[in-house]
């Protein structure tokens, strides 16, 4: 038979599959809410089009022929493909590549375990993680280069929306030889390591210092570094102290490679935020990840 000879429709196929499922024309007609004569007509039209017998009909029994088995496999695959097509059109499939821009702390200490869990939820998805500072991550979202950003500071823009996903604490960490407790005024003479200008950690820390009357220009900055891991190792090496997420320090503090310094009357708390453009529909995989982050609230 030629392709053009296959002239049947989905209702006929549905009737055929339902008869097999119910084992009866009568029960199939009740299930589909159509007359039994309609079911019989659908099956007859399929057999006429295909030129083969699909079902053996006895008084009280129906059995499928070998040709019917081959046609059933085709029909089941067809309906599965229709479901996939419907999901694709609705943007509900979780396949392809999900692109995320993240500042350094979420990229290292928050996202990995969630992406691991996402592998079971969306096994067909490849996650591409772009690690940068918060300001650049926001720019990447704004320009449409990534699907979503996870950042430590909000940079307002009319085209962007922010959603809190988890909390964080920024602490002052220093070499073991540094004092355990200092005053805000002591920070002016203490050798400090800072993040780069676009860092959410740096911006949040500078805003907190400003509340105590300390401007960035008054600080004794001896080093600038664009990575939390680089700062942590520099602290351990004795170069200076730094404001850094507590999340980045757990193992180093436990191993006594550095210490957390108490600053009298001083505390910095913030939220990590998911940033996206409401004007663009998030891929289903990214939406699932976002919901997972909000649900867990690490």
Residue of 65, 35, 60, 52 lying closest to 15 (CA atoms):
35
Residue found by looking up tokens 């867990």 in the block: 296
* pTM confidence score: 0.63
Lowest mean pLDDT among 1-15, 150-164, 225-239: 1-15
**What is the DSSP pairing of strand 161-174 with strand 242-245?**
antiparallel
pLDDT for 298 equals: 46
Band of residue 7 on the pLDDT scale cut at 50, 70, 90: confident
pLDDT for 264 equals: 93
**More confidently predicted of 86 and 263:** 263
Mean pLDDT (the chain, rounded): 89
pLDDT for 91 equals: 55
pLDDT at residue 1 greater than cutoff 60? no
Rounded mean pLDDT of 17-26? 90
Band of residue 296 on the pLDDT scale cut at 50, 70, 90: low
pLDDT in tens, 36-54: 999 999 999 999 999 999 9
pLDDT in tens, 116-135: 888 888 888 889 999 999 99
* Range 178-184, long-range pairs (CB < 8 A, 24+ positions): 178/241, 178/259, 178/261, 179/261, 180/259, 180/261, 180/262, 181/261, 181/262, 181/263, 181/264, 182/261, 182/262, 182/263, 182/264, 183/263, 183/264, 184/209, 184/212, 184/214, 184/263, 184/264, 184/265, 184/266
Q: Give the domains, in start order, of the chain with CATH numbers.
A: 3-89 (1.10.10.10), 96-167+271-296 (3.40.190.10), 169-269 (3.40.190.10)
pLDDT in tens, 204-235: 999 999 999 999 999 999 999 999 999 999 99
């Amino acid at each position: 038979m030629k392709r053009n000879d296959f002239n049947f429709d989905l209702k006929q196929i549905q009737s055929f599959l339902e008869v097999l499922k119910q084992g009866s024309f009568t029960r199939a007609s009740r299930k589909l809410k159509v007359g039994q004569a309609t079911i019989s007509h659908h099956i007859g039209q399929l057999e006429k089009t295909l030129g083969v017998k699909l079902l053996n009909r006895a008084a009280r029994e129906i059995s499928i022929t070998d040709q019917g088995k081959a046609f059933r496999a085709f029909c089941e695959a067809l309906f599965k493909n229709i479901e996939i097509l419907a999901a694709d059109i609705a943007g509900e499939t979780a396949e392809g590549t999900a692109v995320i821009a993240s500042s350094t702390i979420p990229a290292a200490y928050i996202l990995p375990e969630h992406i691991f869990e996402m592998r079971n939820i969306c096994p067909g998805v490849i996650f591409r993680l772009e690690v940068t500072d918060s300001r650049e991550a926001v720019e990447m979202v704004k320009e449409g280069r990534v699907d979503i950003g996870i950042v430590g500071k909000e940079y307002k823009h009319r085209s962007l929306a922010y959603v809190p996903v988890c909390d964080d604490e920024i602490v002052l960490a220093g070499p073991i030889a540094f004092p355990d407790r200092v005053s805000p005024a002591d920070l002016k003479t203490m050798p400090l390591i800072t993040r780069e200008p676009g860092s959410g950690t740096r911006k949040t820390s500078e805003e907190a210092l400003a509340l105590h009357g300390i401007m960035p220009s008054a600080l004794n900055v001896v080093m600038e570094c664009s990575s939390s891991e680089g700062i942590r190792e520099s602290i351990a090496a004795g170069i200076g102290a730094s404001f850094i997420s507590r999340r980045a320090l757990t193992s180093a503090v436990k191993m006594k490679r550095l210490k957390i310094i108490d600053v009298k009357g001083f505390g910095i708390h913030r939220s990590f935020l998911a940033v996206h453009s409401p004007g663009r529909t998030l891929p289903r995989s990214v939406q699932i990840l976002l919901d997972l982050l909000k649900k867990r609230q690490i």
